[in-house]
Amino acid sequence: MSLIRKAQQESFIRQLADAPDHLAGLLIYGSDVGGVHELAQRAVRTLLGEAADDPFTLVTLGEDALADDPGRLVDEVQSVSMFGGRRVVLVRGAADAFRKAMATVLDLPMREAIIVAEAPGLKKDSALAKLFEKDKRLAALPVHADDAGDLRRLATEVLAEYGLKPDNDALMALQSLLGADRAASRNELEKLALYCHGRGRVTLEDVRAVCSDAAAHMMTDMLDAFFTGDAARGARLFNALLAEGTPAAAMLQAAANHVAKLRELRVLMAQGASAQEAVKRMRPPVFFRRQPVMARQLGLWTPEKLDVADESIWQAMRQTRVLPELEAQLAERCLLGLAMRARRQSAA
């Protein structure tokens, strides 16, 4: 299998439901942090189907856990599902400890689980990427920033899912407004689709009304407030965004993307960078006045706490799909819970 390029990834993910027995693992990596996480989640759900929410079929590990206990990956891969069926081991923030553990996994005569590894920010010339590209039992899926053509296709495809067709000038505006993060781009497009629901088309005025820089800044301020423990300010901004027409589900998705960014920065810290240095190395660059706030968040959110935050956000997102009439309440409760965790850590 080896390297699965961008044009092949959609069909590859769809075929995972019938994954061959020799497939040992996938590595999803690259500069598009949100895109890496989104593709990994889709891979897990395709592999497991309805069992993706079952803790007996899906085990999540972090790079730090493997650094502390290199044998943990082997133990999880060899464990047999209690009720039969396929199992998946999801590894987040995969780096050198994971690469070393994989060498042992590949020597096993029998493996009971498929590994899906997320490695946001990993370079294509890294030893881990080369391992997954060269071994026929593994597959590497690089996810990099979308170019102009990719963004136009993404906008057209996502809006079409909602029965909408963008005007040419609206499509050109979206191309300039959407960013390098695939998940964030999809989030903006879904927000736009909800705004235009039932109209059949998307105009330039619709794009300007929904995909504004002001809303983006407000979203960033809200996330910084919640992730530094300022629940009151975060709640004010949350309700302001709701009043502006931003769906609560979009704010949960933004929070999930924020966790992914913090996890990527934590990987840099594990490689020897200070919090301040890690933030300065972020791409796209962080506005200089925001850098101290991001560095402070890294002091509050350890990799283990980020795993907990990520799980609570995805649980809330699942609940909003089941109870859409309670979307705002469920999202706000989740985000306030994150603020409480950050405040407790700040006071410790």
Residue with tokens 């979307």: 327
The amino acid at residue 169 is D
Average pLDDT over residues 79-90: 79
Predicted pLDDT of residue 287 = 65
CA angle 67, 277, 298 (to 5 degrees): 60
What pLDDT, on the 0 to 100 scale, is given for residue 70?
86
Residue 213 has pLDDT above 60, yes or no: no
Sequence-distant (6+) residues with CB within 8 A of 97 are 63, 64, 66, 67, 70
| Predicted local confidence at residue 11, as pLDDT | 87
Name the domain boundary from 107, 142, 177.
142
Contact assessment for residue 202 and residue 164, using Cβ atoms and an 8 Å cutoff: yes
Residues 129 and 206 grouped into a single domain:
no
Query: What is the arithmetic mean of pLDDT over 320-336?
Result: 92
Range of the domain at 73: 2-142
- Whether residue 305 is predicted with pLDDT greater than 90 in this model: the reply is yes
- Report the alpha-carbon distance of residue 6 to residue 335 in Å, rounded: 33
> Is the predicted pLDDT of residue 5 greater than 60, yes or no?
yes
Residue 326 has which token pair?
Answer: 């309670």
Q: For the segment 131-181, what is each residue's pLDDT rounded down to a tens digit?
A: 999 988 999 999 876 667 778 888 999 999 999 999 988 888 887 677 656
Do residues 216 and 326 share a domain? Answer: yes
Domain final residue, candidates 122, 142, 162: 142
Can you give the pLDDT at residue 193?
Answer: 92
What's the domain count of the chain?
2
In this prediction, residues 235-257 reach a mean pLDDT of 87
Strand 165-166, strand 201-202: pairing? parallel
Residue 334 clears pLDDT 70, i.e. is over it: yes
